[in-house]
Structure 1
Amino acid sequence: MKKLFRKIAVITLSIVVFGAVAVFVGSEYRLGKTYDIAVTDFHADSGLPIEEASRRGRSFMCVGCHRSAGNVLFTAPLVGTLVAPNISRIAPTYSDGELERLIRHGVKKDGTAALVMPSSTFAHLADDDVANIITWLRTLPQAPDAQPAASSFGPLGRIALALDHLPFEADHTPANLPELAHRPADTGRYLVANTCSHCHHLQTEAEVEGKVVPPLAVVSQAYSLADFTQLLRTGIGLGSRELGLMSEVARSDFSNFDASEITSIHAWLQTNPQDGRPVSH
């Protein structure tokens, strides 16, 4: 009987070890997967003065995730810690073309994919706004990495990686992107498509970080232009309310919209647009 129990224990341990090795190898393979997307000869010059280019670049929500020196986006026992890296230190190591590929396709310098990077939205940015983001990145003073500086994965996170259940945006970026050199005349529609739609749907609720996000076209009907301007400038909603992530992103990113951009966004939302990604051109 002891020999039988010993044999069962050995078999069980072997299965566990084999499974652990398979999960680790599978997760490493997924993390190391590369994408055959060429680096273009992109030149980051939108023709705007550097101050204006940087202002526009700051409005596209980079700081909301990356902060000034990196930021923990998610952490959970056994799952892991997901970190938005320190762009002030990483951007100088990338060429303009490599940054354009990262922004639009979610593909890093080494050809692997970035986790969570919202490239399926940024893919629709006009060339001049990609240039504005890169221009702003080039102005950032380099800061020491906030800690932790890199993502790490526990056993459950490794299993999710091995099963390809984590959001690599490079897998969802459209293959054939429309060529858009400049911002379209319908600035409100374009800015909603390339900023607000990171989190919001227009007519249906969404979920971000485990929290329900209201339908943007519906909730915006309650906001006058003055109220909407206050929200984007200060993060304060109707009734002098703090709105969690929305308030944080408004203060760090949307406060960089100028008055004409806010007016255009508000005016377009007042048309009560329907669900389905608003086109960017």
Structure 2
Amino acid sequence: MSEPTPTLVFHDLRAESAELDRLVAELDAERWALPTPAPRWTIAHQIAHLHWTDRAALLALTDGDGFREVLGKALAAPDSFVDEAAEEGARIPPAELLARWRQGRAALDEALRTAPQGSRFAWFGPPMSAASMATGRLMETWAHGQDVADTLGVVRVPTGRLRHVVRIGVRARDFAFGVRGLSVPEGEFRVEVRAPSGELWAYGPSDAPQRVTGPALDFCLLVTQRAHRADLALAATGPDADRWLDIAQAFAGPPGTGRPARESGR
């Protein structure tokens, strides 16, 4: 499939954020404190984390020295800085946290759209273009939005915006192996997932012996570790592809612990 344009990614990030905003905008303080599937995180923690990361992305785009300071603090506490930042933000009154998140999103949207073409910006992993930065923010917004939706018992209608999550999940294959100290498989995999529209999104050589197939939504839930493989309709052909479905991870940082299977004994 064709690569998405930067303008489309920016537009889709704005839309994804707005969808999550609608889920939390009318919640009272008691519901902001509801526990989500992420251990020890409430809805407030989820939004606080997105706000913190949006601010970090804004610094990366507009204030290199400021971002390096944030990066230094993260490297000094790699196993705790995400939870600490979410905990600090979750203590902010919900109405104020919501307002800050909205303001931060708007500032980041402007910075992404006006970033010099061809520029790359420091990040917690390799340097990123503005479009790649937006893709990462969309992936995180969708994933944390899924936690909020699950907490509220809301079934979200999948959209074509999932293409960005699929793409970053496919591109993060080698990272998922490497972060666990595993040898990276040789050669590309073929990934074929069915979009919500019915379109087939395909990546990698059509004749690759290692293959993954299934619904795009299920692939996104897998690579963001929002659901256990046993609960998803994904199929792997080949031992390396099969192993990947056990460890897939689209987000940066140490290996994620994932979510338990819904089925007992799995």
Q: What is the TM-score when the length of structure 1 is the normalising length? A: 0.25
Structure (1 or 2) with the larger CA radius of gyration: 1
TM-score calculated relative to the size of structure 2: 0.26
Q: Which has the higher contact order (CA 8 A, sep 6+)?
A: 1
